[in-house]
Amino acid sequence: MLSILRNNVLTLFFIIVLAISFTTDAYSQYLINLMLVYVVVAQGLNLILGFAGMFAFAHGAFMAIGAYVSALLMNTLGVPYLIALPMAGLAAAFVGCVIGIPAIRVSGLYLAMVTIGVSEIVQWVLRHWKPVTGGTDGMLVASPTFFGVEFSDDFQSFYVIFVVCALMTVLAQFVIRSRLGRAFVAIREGEIAAQSSGINVARTKVFAFAISAFYAGIGGSLFSLTQHYINPENFNLYQTIMQFCMVIVGGSASLIGPFIGAVILTWLPELLRNAQAFQEIGFGLLLIVFVIFMPRGLAGLLISRNILPRERFSRAARLRKKPEASTSVVVERP
Amino acid sequence: MEFAFLLSVGVSNGCLYGLVGLGLVLVYNAQGIPNFAHGEFFMATAFAAYVANVLLGIPYALSVLIAIAFGGALGVVVEFLAIRPISTNRALGRASTEVAVVLSTVGLMITIKGLARIPWGDSVRKLPGAFSTDTITIGSLIISTQRLLIIVVAVALTVCLSIFFARTSLGKKMRATSQNTTGAKLIGINTGHIYSATWGLAAICGGIAGILAAPIIFLHPDMGTRMLLKGFAAACLGGFGSVSGVFVGGLLMGIVEIFFGRYLSTSMMDIFAPIIIIVVLLFRPQGLFGTRGAARV
Amino acid sequence: MKSILASSGIAALALAAAIGLAPGSALAADPGITDTTIKIGMMGSLTGPAAMWGWPTINGAKMVYDKVNEEGGINGRKIEVVVEDDQCQAPLALAAAKKLLSRDEVFMLHGGSCSGAVLPVREVALKEKIPMMVLVATADEIVAQPNGYIFRAFLPGSYDGKIIADFLATAPNVKKVIAVGNTDAIANVRYPVLEESLKARDLEYLGLEPIEVEATDATAQVLKVKSQNPDAIVLVARPEASAVFLKDAAKLGLDVPIVGATVVDLQDLLDRVGDPKPMEHMHVVSFYKSPLDGEPMAPWVDMLKKYYPDDKVQAAAFYGTSGALAVVEALKRAGPDLTREGFVKAMSDIKGLDGGPMACTLNFATDDHEGCKSGSVWGMRDGKVTAIGDSWK
């Protein structure tokens, strides 16, 4: 019985979240919603950062695109949320591609810089394209309506967010275990080796950008449901850094990592509400301590202690990639 | 007249960007990473000068020296505590190491800013300039003395650093390490010391920029953030390759920015730096002056 | 066994520890009121980049509540304040508001430092019918009608545009006016009203010259402004950028009257610039009756020194004071049988209440919750910060 639970921690997570939602107050419900939104975004970032090893720093901007697209579709065109949500994801994925196609020419530092530049420009457009985005005033977001029922409060929007988060989790598992997911890991371990084993590196990188941005776009749209109001400041560099923290603290290149990261980074600041001076510093120190002492994050720690089961894809990937990884080191450091 | 004035301001802004970019290039050449905490060296050193000069009443020149020493020490300590444990961790692959080091600098950025905010987050403070007279007049051109100082210091520092890397033994070792870490180790260079020196030097460059800029832009914990982006843009233009390249990159950026603002659009000045970064990195990643081989991708 | 147990409980522990138990819903009249206490939830940016709008403004409001408590409370009830941090970020502000409402079960909210963070909270307050007094957020939409529950007791963002236009219309030889300013949320709310009011006063509006919030240099802006030959400048920039602009304007000989919006304080600006020369032409619309060292401000400065001796006596310290004064007055008027609806009604009935440190008198109505609509223009006269009033002198 317990081993079944151990092997289905994510299922357990969703069951517990659902169970809690029946007994909790608006405050906790709001935080649970926010946490599930961050789970979606962090899974997307984990795909590109953790699995594909690409330093994309633009997830705040992708979230913004998702949030604004779905809000505009609903507010001005009256599009139902069931259509606006995937559109939000697709719009972000499209922008991801547009950025991704030229950006794959650079890597490492340069990719980080280019994507930071892109997110600054997205911020600027959101602030200055007043007729459409409302500029710095931001805009109200209509509540979604399903079958004539308006889902307006935290308890109602929970069901939307919950279902979407679960679907996105299934999709992430599928992607990571697919051929594409293995190609991501291969590229991370060494582009030249990946290429020589028949992977189209450029195409895979654009896919990584697009899928990752799709997650951020969906997350951004869900985020707007928790806030009912969006403005450009919601999606600044701080938001992106927070997503990075979630992936790193939770454990990059792990399926369960984004969940652990999102839980901790949503709840820890709330638990530390009384330790104000610690808020900002604690956030920074957490990041440093984790990259130094636990580079594989909490998921890595729990797996190495055998508390969590080893994740299936990672064993496969490791066995597969070991020889290539070692050659890649030789190739990269002549 | 207007042209000369704009040029003088553009040059002094550009020198500031160049100084900030210089520190970024030093760290990048040593370890191949963007140092997001660099803006915090800029801020912390300026605050150190403030503490020494304004709070403790130490004479200005001495305060500046103390602040620069503090900045250098901060760079060394930060490298030792938050960067070295990661870069020497053999369990990580190279890609993961770089990701981890960069995120560590992001963590440092947040932490140092947060620390500064505890005593100084409540309002904006002022650091006096180096001279008691604010402006001097050359012909019909009015130049602020602080801006003149910025230009002089930036040029002097760039020349000194160029000589340092070309002539001194430490400078040569630093270059050797950045070109080939393993090789440098093999010929007996203590790369750990080299990294300490690099970070110390980088922090000093950022810190000097901070002390110079503080009388113009005021002291607050977020003052380094914007400069960081401008410094990155300068370094990209210069190609992350050489000391003089960054200086010219910064200069170009300062001059173009101010003429762009004056004659085209001031509202676009906000995104001038990111546009430069994107355009340069996508179309000429080696920078305006670098050669392709120099880019460490 | 142990590890398996731990594993199955990981998510459960993480969540359960954090969430705790939901409090049982009290079926009493309205939350936050006992026979001896009234609980008020305050929110502000206690940490983060906007921290200078946090504790200083909160303490400036809290001191009014402290004084009331010392004098025995209101109708036998003492005010109990719970302060939460919103870091000027919308997600955290919402969390803070929801915590105050569902955990601390406060009677009302008094808070919000940044408009972007307060606007989502506005939706919650209106939906849940919670009375709310805005602390320092200036966006007009926060208090705009329809709105049954949210009040504000200081000059809102856009209103200084009219004051500036009226003031400049009385200045000698002013025909053409140009605006220089930031393009962030705080500044943007002001331009439309400014333009409209200038036109209503038959002044020509030459448009806006943007300047970055963190500008290190305003040479381009000053030269551009100069080339358009305005008779006066309206400066809608935060203190850092304003100081940079003034210094460069003085250096380049731009010597027309400048009027600043309420985003800066004249004394604070003078301290920053540190040199009276660039300040010669500067005027600022101020919330307050007089400069901080003036007589009308003395009781408030003394009150701050008494209750918060460690706080710096600065302009930001008294932005929230008038709001607290209005809350106290409304609580008094609402009487011993205090309810949220009764409080809102009492607040709407307040007319002609002295604004404390604020230059205005507070007038609320059922369909108008902006209590304070006037300010005073200050300028440098004989090298001193002087309250000039509403017309040029």
Searching chain A, which residue's CA lies closest to the CA of residue B27? A109
- Helix, strand, coil proportions of chain A in percent (round to 5)? 80, 0, 20
pLDDT confidence tier of residue C21, bands split at 50, 70 and 90 = very low
- In sequence order, what DSSP letters do the residues of A188-218 get, joined into one string? HH-HHHHHHTT--HHHHHHHHHHHHHHHHHH
Is A16–C3 a contact, with Cβ atoms under 8 angstroms apart? no
Alpha-carbon distance B129 to nearest alpha carbon in chain A (angstroms): 31
Q: Distance (Å, rounded) from C-alpha A288 to C-alpha A290?
A: 5
Total-model pTM: 0.86
- Count CA within 13 A, CB hemisphere, residue C321: 27
Which residues in chain B show pLDDT less than 50?
A: 293-297
Task: State residue A312's pLDDT score.
Answer: 65
Please state which of the ranges A171-180, A182-191, A304-313 shows the lowest mean pLDDT.
A304-313
Query: Which stretches of chain A sit within 8 Å of chain B by CB?
Result: 49, 53, 55, 102-103, 105-110, 112-114, 116-118, 120-121, 124, 128, 188-189, 241, 244, 248, 252, 277, 279-281, 283-288, 291-292, 295, 325, 329, 332-333
Give the position of tokens 């970024």.
Answer: B24
Contacts of B1 (CB under 8 A, 6+ apart): B140, B141
Is B236–A114 a contact, with Cβ atoms under 8 angstroms apart? no
Task: State residue B170's pLDDT score.
Answer: 85
Alpha-carbon distance C127 to nearest alpha carbon in chain A (angstroms): 9
Percentage above 90 pLDDT, chain C: 21
Task: State residue A332's pLDDT score.
Answer: 32
Is A295–B86 a contact, with Cβ atoms under 8 angstroms apart? yes
Q: Which of A16, A263, A280 has the CB atom closest to C48's CB atom?
A: A280
* Mean pLDDT, rounded, for C43-58: 84
C-chain CB neighbours of B5 within 8 Å are 219, 223, 252
Chain B and chain C share a number of CB contacts under 8 A equal to: 82
The model's pLDDT over C138-168, given as tens digits with 9 standing for 90+, comes to 888 888 888 889 999 988 888 888 889 888 8
Contacts of B67 (CB under 8 A, 6+ apart): B45, B46, B48, B49, B52, B207, B211
Task: State residue C13's pLDDT score.
Answer: 43
Q: What tokens were used for A126?
A: 């959101």
- Count CA within 13 A, CB hemisphere, residue A247: 29
Task: State residue C187's pLDDT score.
Answer: 85
B-chain CB neighbours of C240 within 8 Å are 124, 217-218, 220
Other residues' Cβ atoms within 10 Å of the Cβ of residue A125: 17
**Closest by Cα among C357, C385, C361, C355 to C289:** C357
* Helical spans, DSSP H, in C40-110: 55-70, 90-102
Is C216–B13 a contact, with Cβ atoms under 8 angstroms apart? yes
Q: Which amino acid is at C305?
A: K
* Mean pLDDT, rounded, for C6-35: 52
Q: What tokens were used for B143?
A: 């130049």
Neighbours of chain C (3+ CB pairs under 8 A): A, B
A-chain CB neighbours of B99 within 8 Å are 49, 53, 55, 252
Please provide residue C262's backbone torsions phi and psi, each rounded to the nearest 5 degrees: -70, 0
Residue A67 has pLDDT above 50, yes or no: yes
Is C185–A276 a contact, with Cβ atoms under 8 angstroms apart? no
Is C220–B2 a contact, with Cβ atoms under 8 angstroms apart? no
Is B32–A288 a contact, with Cβ atoms under 8 angstroms apart? no
Is A136–C3 a contact, with Cβ atoms under 8 angstroms apart? no
pLDDT confidence tier of residue C11, bands split at 50, 70 and 90 = very low
Task: State residue A327's pLDDT score.
Answer: 34
Is C95–A30 a contact, with Cβ atoms under 8 angstroms apart? yes
Is A276–C46 a contact, with Cβ atoms under 8 angstroms apart? yes
Is B126–C272 a contact, with Cβ atoms under 8 angstroms apart? yes
Task: State residue C16's pLDDT score.
Answer: 47
Is B218–C240 a contact, with Cβ atoms under 8 angstroms apart? yes
Residue C391 has pLDDT above 90, yes or no: no
Is C251–B223 a contact, with Cβ atoms under 8 angstroms apart? no
Task: State residue C132's pLDDT score.
Answer: 93
Residue A321 has pLDDT above 60, yes or no: no
Answer whether B227's CB lies under 8 Å from B20's CB. Answer: yes
Q: Which of B135, B217, B266 has the CB atom closest to C216's CB atom?
A: B217
pLDDT confidence tier of residue A276, bands split at 50, 70 and 90 = low
Average pLDDT score over chain A = 83
Q: Distance (Å, rounded) from C-alpha A136 to C-alpha A129?
A: 9
C-chain CB neighbours of B213 within 8 Å are 216
pLDDT confidence tier of residue A330, bands split at 50, 70 and 90 = very low
The model's pLDDT over C302-358, given as tens digits with 9 standing for 90+, comes to 999 999 998 888 888 888 899 999 999 999 888 888 889 989 999 998 888 888 888
Q: Distance (Å, rounded) from C-alpha B124 to C-alpha C1?
A: 57
Residue A331 has pLDDT above 70, yes or no: no
Q: Distance (Å, rounded) from C-alpha A279 to C-alpha A287?
A: 13
**Closest by Cα among B47, B2, B40 to B203:** B40
| C-alpha dihedral sign at A245, A249, A252, A258 | negative
* Mean pLDDT, rounded, for A14-27: 86
Neighbours of chain A (3+ CB pairs under 8 A): B, C
A-chain CB neighbours of C91 within 8 Å are 34, 226-227, 234
Alpha-carbon distance C59 to nearest alpha carbon in chain B (angstroms): 13
A-chain CB neighbours of C210 within 8 Å are none
Helix (H, G, I), strand (E, B) or coil at C12: helix
Alpha-carbon distance B92 to nearest alpha carbon in chain A (angstroms): 8
Task: State residue C23's pLDDT score.
Answer: 41
- Count CA within 13 A, CB hemisphere, residue C74: 26
pLDDT confidence tier of residue A1, bands split at 50, 70 and 90 = low
Searching chain B, which residue's CA lies closest to the CA of residue A292? B86
Average pLDDT score over chain C = 84
pLDDT confidence tier of residue C289, bands split at 50, 70 and 90 = confident
Q: Which of B213, B226, B266 has the CB atom closest to C220's CB atom?
A: B266
Answer whether A196's CB lies under 8 Å from B102's CB. Answer: no
Residue A220 has pLDDT above 90, yes or no: yes
Contacts of C157 (CB under 8 A, 6+ apart): C115, C138, C139, C140, C186, C189, C190, C262
* Mean pLDDT, rounded, for A245-261: 88
Contacts of B129 (CB under 8 A, 6+ apart): B145, B146, B149, B215
Is C116–A233 a contact, with Cβ atoms under 8 angstroms apart? yes
* Mean pLDDT, rounded, for A220-227: 92
